[in-house]
Structure 1
Amino acid sequence: MKKELRQKKILNLISKKNIATQLELIDALAEIGIKTTQATLSRDIKELHLVKKTDITGEVAYRVLNAEEQVEYNSGPVRDIFKESVNGITQVQFINIIQTDPNDGSRVAAVIDDAEIDGVKGTLAGYDTLVVFSADAEAAEALHQKLKSFLE
């Protein structure tokens, strides 16, 4: 089955009933004739930005984050690693240069890449420094302000 169709079915299922575990989701998919593996389902969950949330009755279930929640969800790990490993940020035209603790340059870059933050076109990391490329100086300035906020 094509990924797009399977993911549409997943979204349809979680919108109609509370599904709290991957096993429950695999079983629900099987009931409608879709067989999948746990590994494939895990990738789908990540790509669809599904999270487990508690509703007002206290029941936990998968749901899709809205755009505002997605930004906060994605920036959580960035904020954590910035507080732990980043020593400073400097903007030079369309580039942000980030100084980290020794051995942390690549780790910080990987977290930034995974977070899919607006304004990040790519990263290049070394031992204790990484550069974050933006499309232009204006985008880099907006990114600079956002990255600095993670240090607060």
Structure 2
Amino acid sequence: MKKKERQAILTKIVREHLVHTQEELQEYLHEYGVGTTQATLSRDLRELKITKMRDEYGKSRYIKLTTETRGDAKQRLYSALKTVTKSIEVLEFLVIIHTSPSYGNFLAAALDELRHSTPIEILGTLAGHDTVVAFCRDAAQAQEMADYLSSRV
């Protein structure tokens, strides 16, 4: 089987099933008639940007957070927002984003990658386990950013 076909099946598995281990991934692949080594599976996961993260119940599972447009930072942010955002609030010049457990750093990194692109003009972020604080220049900019992010959730 060709690499692209194997990776398409792997992406489908991760999107359709709650998969917690590489062994489970290999079992699903086997059901599709795909045999692969652990090294090949790890390389495919890395290339597809499939990562193991905790869900809202605290259980680790594989998840694909990027969209099909590889390399597009805005698309990665939108995918992350839709996948992990619980709420967005504004407090003066701060935008506070609550995420699923363990996703704070991931979302902050996605925001930081775009911090100087319109309309995501932020000074920086601070992340915790399930919260991101984005610093804006003023309250108006914070509200504009929160509205923009909320429209993408």
TM-score, normalization by structure 1: 0.50
TM-score by length of structure 2 reads 0.49
Greater helix content: 1
